[in-house]
Structure 1
Amino acid sequence: MPVGTPVTPRKLVCSLCKFARTVFAVTTTEGRRDRRKRQTRATLSTTALRMVAEHGLDHVTVDEISEAAGVSPRTFFNYFGCKDEAVVGNAVVDEARLDARLAAVPADVPAVAALRTAFAELVDDIQADRDLWSLRMQVVERNPALLSRLVTIGVRNERTITAAVAARLGLPGDHDYPALVAAVTGAALRSCLGQWARSGGTRPLTDLVDEAFAALAAGLPEPAHHP
């Protein structure tokens, strides 16, 4: 890019996401045990989701999910507290992974852009599992009881993001700014997921998230009106 060329929020966000995919691919190390645990958790969640989609939330038990996933009920409860949590379980933000990803982003990058960079892998994973996430949203829509579980997870995620942003900026945990950043970025992600699901995935989720975070970074300017 020529010297003096202005960098728009969209260009900054996209450049940082490319940076994230390169750096995290090189620096992220995952031991065999951690990888196996992550795979087991994903298998349990996917199994629970598909069984509930087929039979209904009230007609599937933890024992049946465990048997179908090839593990014991005791193993199931090592990963999830209940059946409902397994159905929506992959929506939890991992605190340690988020901290590591934020730490890899240069310190002069603003908080919103830094979070978009840190979320790059999560967004890529969701997009890669489009059919599964679409099914999850359908299951939640058909089973309102799961909404409270999603709300609980959302609150937990906001607290995780708030703490990570506060640590990055050197602010006290009760400062308003990290909580505000966590709230607006969380809302942006939820909005993008909803738009992505409603469109049937016709637009890449990564593009929707890039646009949303660029709009946040720019102060949410009103979109141009089209006749």
Structure 2
Amino acid sequence: MESSVGLRERKKEATRQAVHEATLRLTVEHGFDHVTVEAVADAAGISRRTFSNYFTGKEDALLYGEEQQMRDLVRTVRERPADEPAWPALRAAVAEFGKRVAPPEREWAIRTRLAMRHPSLLARQLANHATLERDLAEAVASRQSPAENAVRPLVLAAAFLSSLRIAMRMWIEEDLAREPSQVIGEILDEMARSFE
């Protein structure tokens, strides 16, 4: 029974990934405004109804890879040693995550540029980032005692994610001239400095 459940989940994941890749490819070829759910379904070899079983719209399909990476980042933070302070744990997690995940270059840059130009895509991306911020805050809060400041995990998660967004935007504006990890490190260093 377990093997059939595992196989079913792998097939579902493969379908999600195929739809995501088809959406990205069609968006690059034709522009986001000219891509329809029907065209994505055809390119992925599935029906329109099957598409709807996996995604609510083309925005979700396009951002699926980013959502998976976000979940992986939160999981990596949770797996850091429990006695490690929050900010070093966040920094170490993003460095570890960067080693496991292929460089974001092409796909990440495409999604970010698209989001800057398309309000519906930006809205969906911002909703994803709000969820990530909440999940990271929970992961940070689990590292501190109940007597510690309850606001701190929220601030750390927001500061961390703001740093990543700034770094990725700089990286794109620099036309991918440096390694993403270099830009991220620079921004995280600056964020770690005191504001007073």
TM-score w.r.t. the length of structure 2 is 0.79
Q: Give the structure, 1 or 2, with the largest relative contact order (CA under 8 Å, sep 6 or more).
A: 1
The correspondence for 1:119, drawn from 87, 91, 94, is: 94
1:61-114 superposed Cα distances (whole Å, 9 cap, x missing partner): 2221122122333443343221112222322221xx455423432233221121
Q: Which moved more, 1:177-186 or 1:53-62?
A: 53-62
Mapping 1:48-197, distance limit 5 Å: 48-92=23-67, 93-94=70-71, 97-98=72-73, 100-120=75-95, 122-124=97-99, 128-171=103-146, 175-197=150-172
Are positions 1:213 and 2:188 aligned together?
A: yes
Contact 1:66 1:72 in 2 (8 A): yes
Higher helix share: 2
1:169 is paired with a residue whose SS is: coil
Q: Would the alpha carbon gap of residues 210 and 32 (structure 1) be closer, same or farther in structure 2, given more than 3 Å must change?
A: farther
Gaps of 5+ in 2: 1-5
Count residues in correspondence. Answer: 188
TM-score w.r.t. the length of structure 1 is 0.69
CA RMSD, Structure 1 to Structure 2 (Å): 2.9
Q: Which residue type is aligned with residue 212 of structure 1?
A: I
Gaps of 5+ in 1: 1-30, 222-227
Q: Which residue of 2 aligns with 1:13?
A: none
Contact 2:105 2:176 in 1 (8 A): yes
Mapping 1:16-55, distance limit 5 Å: 37-55=12-30
